[in-house]
Structure 1
Amino acid sequence: MKSILIKNATLVNEGRVFQSDVFISDGRIQKIGSNLTEKSDREIDATGLHLLPGVIDDQVHFREPGLTHKADIHSEARAAVAGGTTSFMEMPNTIPNATTQELLEDKFNRAAETSLANYSFFMGATNDNLDEVLLTNGATVCGIKIFMGSSTGNMLVDDEGTLEQIFEKARLPIAVHCEDEQTIRDNLTIYEEKYGDEIPVECHPEIRSTAACFKSSFMAVKLAEKHNTRLHILHISTEEELALFRNDIPLKEKRITAEVCVHHLWFDKSDYATLGSQIKCNPAVKEARHKEALFQGLLDNRLDIIATDHAPHLWEEKQASYKKSPSGVPLVQHSLQLMLEFYHDGRISLERMVEKMSHAPAECFQVRERGFIREGYWADLVLVDLNEPYTVSKENIYYKCNWSPFEGKTFRSSVSHTIVSGHLAFENGRFDESKKGERLLFDRPL
């Protein structure tokens, strides 16, 4: 592996912004300091650029196996790297669902062959696979995923006895999608009676309602408190749910954590008028009051992580009527640029953004030797130019589905270089796929 010397960068790391050089060799950060003179295979002059730890996205859907007409691990990992995301954790609702140890390991093997980014995959829980779930190795798998709301195949876990057992017996983090299924079904019946098959997409946040989210999240929190479970609630979308989370203790002491996704910070209900089903997702993008409250919850540490829930579908699929159009938005390529827009607007500091996108995911999931710019850690790094505009277009979208709700949007910042486990994987629009990403490992007591 080639050694790299990054010179004259502005580092953003662990609450500090400072000038430094970084020397990388054997995949790791060997030295951080001023005026480094180490001999290297490649030197990058980072004058005017900011060097950040690579983004760790703990919630993506890369659609492989079984849904590869929409996306696959190769295409979406490339898009992630182009946007500064160096590691991802992918969800089990593929076809077949990753609900056995054998099927889960198949995904790891495929990623080892094709993923430009570092990777891990969640083990999926169902109403009837508890024995398989409990075999999951916490040192090599990011966590267990429970859908407490409908999903692909047999992945809705709605049996209270099963939930009790998983929360009681699991020894690694449980990540939960929280929406109460019966509330959603009841709401859908009301809107079907009113509109028939022509339900307007702007009704989505009333069907997948605030009440549905809160009821399910409340249940998950109570189960975790009862069993002292390590619980992570995904994609919080409502102001009401913020009351369930603490900000009076450090992140490392929390047994219950929560995340917010970029689309719930950026979009609100008014955007359905122009974007329609492009922003149809579960849980739904809701009224503006939720978006503003979520941002405050991020800043005051009730929300711990920023993620994407990247979930691509074909453009033709998204153009169908409300009930037939699938939920999900492709987001992983532009999440860092999107958050940098909030920085430019003065709403979040670079230090806090890095904390929520890199440090906190590493801490929450106890990722080994990643998420920080530290000597001895894996070199997962991204260089960004805060003053180089970037306009999203068909020509520079790397998703297999080849569309984005940000098409035509000009971001004020660009990603120039992405280094994955010491490998310069992306440089000014060009990929080097001669080395693949690494499997994430986790420092957890077994």
Structure 2
Amino acid sequence: MSYDLILKNGEIVFPGEGMRRGSVAVADGKIAAILEPGEETRATRVIDCTDRLVMPGLIDPHTHIGFGDKENDWLTETRTALLGGVTGLFSFWRSDDFNATTSPWIDSAKAQAAMDFGLHFGVTATRHVEELAALSQRFGVTSIKVYLMYKGAAGAAKGFGEVDDALLFRALQAGARIKGGVVGVHCENTEVIPVFREPLKAAGRDDLPVWDEQSPGFLETENVFRVAYFGEKAECPVNIVHMSAVESLDLVRRLRHEGRPPINVETCIHYLSLTKDSGIGNLGKVNPPLRSQADVDGLWEGVRNGDISTIGSDHVPRKRATKGPDIWQATAGFPGIAQILPVMLHEGWSKRGIAIETLAAATSSNVADLYSVPNKGRIVPGFDADLVVVDPEGETHVDAANYPSHSDYSPFEGMTFRSAVTHTILRGQILAENGTLADGIVNPGRYLHRNP
């Protein structure tokens, strides 16, 4: 038999299972076969993957497309992601009227995106909760997010006047009625933050560590308890997104019990590689804040043992100019989608010896499972041929100028990570090769309409 593409004699990574040498054969955009080492067959193109890793393409579960240049973010950010081995993403979509605005937003993505994409609905009003059942059916969105950081004055400043515990519980009740539904929550007690913030501002503090001090980790943990407990009572699976504090993870471990709704945990690469003491100043402002090295190490142990099931970037493609003039006025968030795999392999696999199949699960198969995405996230015949080839002995040096992102900086700027992506493949199409995007990418991205 002849195939379209063969990734020959690589170390194939099977998420959650292990790694073994072999070749991956691709035909008609699908994984057609897993071949034994040395097994000869024909293909239109053969890539020698000797001493290379062949992994499932990454699916970033946590991005904010449209928060940089709304008209062009789908174009620039998906192409940036391809250079880092990402072949799919989910982005948070907020709107006063989901019924009226979601189709145009999806259409704009279809016209620009270079990879497959899905949406999470950001719930900020009672109206959204009341419409969720119909919205889920119409748009194939099974995942929603509630922003506890937008309660009270913090929400009013953003134009959100209905975010409270009642909205949270209603959202959990609605999520429980959606097949495959999961409710993600930003956990951060903004009602207590002023107790810390006001004296720190009065003292004239203007440094990165103060952002952690004004919203310490236990304010995340307190909200985690509320979300998990309400989730149990509403019989709804929850997802603690972008967990930053190891104390929060310790609490989740105590709250998990057989027979109760799942408490899923997501963290992000910056909480696994950067700290409040990283010396990057205002560029490191993010919500929740960067924490201590002890938090970084503790979260990594959560990845190792599976207590943390998914890892994303929380990618926000704004400009460096928005990160000032001081820590208090700087925008929160930063880009990072192209650094997921370099951070995972350098910090997790190389430095800490975490099994690569565990990392692949957290960045591919677990994401597909949690968000009900069929035929993605694994290297299995019949699945989409979304693949990434990695040179484990290569290096990735982070320079924002090397990416087409709207953002012009990186919190990882100047860092060098062991490993380098050599090929990114979406449904059998080689879209990035040796640090360069393929010529003439004609927006191959498809919308992930989920119907569990």
User: Normalized against structure 2, the TM-score is what?
Assistant: 0.89
The equivalent residue for 1:114 is: 112
Q: State the shift of 1:333 in Å.
A: 0.5
Correspondence for 1:61 among 52, 61, 64: 64
Partner SS state of residue 91, structure 1: strand
Give the direction of change, closer, same or farther, for the CA distance of 1:56–1:160 in structure 2 (3 Å limit): same
Partner SS state of residue 135, structure 1: helix
The equivalent residue for 1:3 is: 4
Give the direction of change, closer, same or farther, for the CA distance of 1:201–1:394 in structure 2 (3 Å limit): closer
Gaps of 5+ in 2: none
Matched, 1:436 2:434: no
Give the direction of change, closer, same or farther, for the CA distance of 1:99–1:155 in structure 2 (3 Å limit): farther
Work out whether residues 388 and 413 of structure 1, in 8 Å CA contact, stay in contact via their aligned partners in 2: yes
Correspondence for 1:186 among 191, 195, 204: 195
Work out whether residues 104 and 121 of structure 1, in 8 Å CA contact, stay in contact via their aligned partners in 2: no
The equivalent residue for 1:299 is: 304
In the alignment, the residues of structure 2 paired with residue 48 and residue 105 of structure 1 have an alpha-carbon distance, to the nearest angstrom, of 44
Letter in 2 for 1:436: P
- Worse-matched range after superposition: 230-239 or 400-409: 400-409
Gaps of 5+ in 1: none
Letter in 1 for 2:450: F
The equivalent residue for 1:337 is: 342
Correspondence for 2:375 among 344, 369, 372: 369
Give the direction of change, closer, same or farther, for the CA distance of 1:5–1:253 in structure 2 (3 Å limit): farther
Question: Pairwise CA RMSD of aligned residues?
Answer: 2.5
The equivalent residue for 1:91 is: 92
Q: State the shift of 1:365 in Å.
A: 1.5
In the alignment, the residues of structure 2 paired with residue 70 and residue 188 of structure 1 have an alpha-carbon distance, to the nearest angstrom, of 35
Work out whether residues 107 and 121 of structure 1, in 8 Å CA contact, stay in contact via their aligned partners in 2: no
The equivalent residue for 2:131 is: 132
Correspondence for 1:28 among 27, 30, 51: 30
Matched, 1:426 2:432: yes
Q: State the shift of 1:162 in Å.
A: 2.1
Letter in 1 for 2:341: L
The equivalent residue for 1:410 is: 416
Letter in 2 for 1:75: T
1:342-372 CA-to-partner distances (Å, cap 9, x unmatched) read 2122431211111211121112122111000
Give the direction of change, closer, same or farther, for the CA distance of 1:146–1:359 in structure 2 (3 Å limit): same
Matched, 1:393 2:393: no
Give the direction of change, closer, same or farther, for the CA distance of 1:310–1:233 in structure 2 (3 Å limit): same
The equivalent residue for 2:99 is: 101
- Worse-matched range after superposition: 50-59 or 106-115: 106-115
- Worse-matched range after superposition: 179-188 or 145-154: 145-154
Aligned length: 434
The equivalent residue for 1:318 is: 323
Work out whether residues 59 and 364 of structure 2, in 8 Å CA contact, stay in contact via their aligned partners in 1: yes
1:52-97 CA-to-partner distances (Å, cap 9, x unmatched) read 0011110011226xx417971111111111101111000125xxx3
Correspondence for 1:19 among 21, 24, 27: 21
Mapping 1:109-258, distance limit 5 Å: 109-129=107-127, 130-137=129-136, 140-150=140-150, 153-155=158-160, 158-170=163-175, 171=178, 172-195=181-204, 199-246=206-253, 255-258=262-265
Partner SS state of residue 212, structure 1: helix
User: Normalized against structure 1, the TM-score is what?
Assistant: 0.90
Q: State the shift of 1:254 in Å.
A: 5.9
In the alignment, the residues of structure 2 paired with residue 102 and residue 422 of structure 1 have an alpha-carbon distance, to the nearest angstrom, of 34
* Aligned-pair identity (%): 24
Partner SS state of residue 175, structure 1: strand
